[in-house]
């Protein structure tokens, strides 16, 4: 297995509160890793430490960077620098340009990935190679039928796909997905799970997911990490983790379905 990202003794304190407690873990390229835990377990803080939105109190984060292919420390770097190095994040709340079309949103993200941000004001210029890359991304997230639709007219599920496409356009070595099926109906949830599986199989990107829907977790995960009070209390395959009594007691009041 190839390690894409690892943390060493990662800790974040807010005064006397320890939100992330001495977490040492690695993520491998060929696994979909789900991160679960009760509210307040430290999942969001952990993501924020990985992406540079928060700086750790102690500890280190290393990422297999796109330029070197080696694990290098990204601790202390700004979020945009970390994204450029290959770690992207799709948020629970969509972060898209509502008045632009799906195609236009994803095209802007590709321009950003190629360090061509000075061209954002002239993004309508013809560039067949760039447009081909955009269509490839659109195809990966199954948005072909709405590619020319303004995002404000999309369903909630399709907006989430656009958000994932924007992160995917950055060509990350690892992507963090924050509640990717939140607010979706069963049909949309099933489609999103299939898309994430397809992305895992057809791209070189590794995926980590936070999710409260345990049926999604059981279906999509190669591996599950359980956070409780900022610390990892279980790490392994879904069957072993979800049947662990310690996990059941920490999560949902002792019931994991």
**pLDDT tens sequence across 68-110:** 788 999 999 999 899 989 999 987 666 788 999 999 999 988 8
Please name the residues in contact with 9: beta carbons below 8 A apart, sequence gap of 6 or more: 22, 23, 24, 58, 59, 60
- How confident is the model at residue 30, as a pLDDT? 84
**pLDDT tens sequence across 212-245:** 888 999 999 999 999 999 999 999 999 999 888 8
Domains by residue range for the chain, with CATH: 1-86+172-257 (3.40.50.300), 97-171 (no CATH)
Q: Chain-centre distance of CA 70, in angstroms?
A: 21
Q: Return d(Cα 237, Cα 143) in angstroms, integer.
A: 32
- Percent of the residues in the chain that have a pLDDT greater than 70, as a whole number: 91
- How confident is the model at residue 117, as a pLDDT? 52
Residue 174 and residue 86 in contact, taking contact as beta carbons nearer than 8 Å: yes
DSSP 242: H
- How confident is the model at residue 257, as a pLDDT? 43
Buried/exposed 1-39: b ≥16 CB within 10 Å, e otherwise: eeebbbbbebbbeeeeebbbbebeeebebebbbbbbbbe
**pLDDT tens sequence across 152-175:** 999 999 999 999 999 999 889 999
* Axis crossing angle, helix 128-140 with helix 102-113, rounded to the nearest 10: 110
């Amino acid at each position: 297995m190839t390690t894409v990202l690892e943390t060493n003794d990662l800790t974040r304190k807010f005064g006397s509160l320890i939100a992330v407690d001495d977490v040492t873990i690695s993520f491998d390229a060929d696994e979909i890793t789900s991160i679960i835990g009760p509210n307040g377990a430290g999942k969001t803080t952990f993501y924020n430490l990985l992406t540079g939105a928060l700086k750790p109190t102690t500890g280190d984060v290393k990422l297999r960077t796109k330029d070197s292919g080696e694990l290098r420390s990204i601790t202390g770097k700004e979020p945009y620098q970390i994204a450029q190095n290959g770690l992207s994040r799709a948020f629970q709340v969509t972060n898209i340009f509502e008045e632009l079309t799906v195609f236009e949103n994803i095209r802007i993200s590709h321009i950003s990935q190629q360090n061509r941000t000075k061209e954002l004001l002239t993004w309508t210029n013809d560039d067949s190679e760039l447009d081909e890359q955009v269509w490839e991304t659109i195809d990966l997230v199954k948005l072909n039928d709405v590619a020319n639709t303004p995002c404000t007219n999309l369903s909630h599920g399709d907006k989430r796909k656009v958000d994932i496409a924007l992160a995917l356009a950055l060509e990350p070595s690892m992507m963090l997905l924050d509640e990717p099926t939140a607010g979706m109906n069963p049909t949309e949830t099933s489609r999103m799970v299939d898309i994430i599986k397809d992305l895992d199989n057809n791209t070189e990107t590794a995926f980590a997911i936070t999710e409260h829907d345990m049926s999604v977790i059981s279906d999509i995960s190669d591996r599950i990490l359980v956070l409780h009070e900022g610390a990892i209390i279980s790490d392994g395959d879904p069957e072993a983790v979800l049947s662990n009594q310690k996990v059941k007691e920490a999560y949902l009041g002792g019931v994991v379905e």
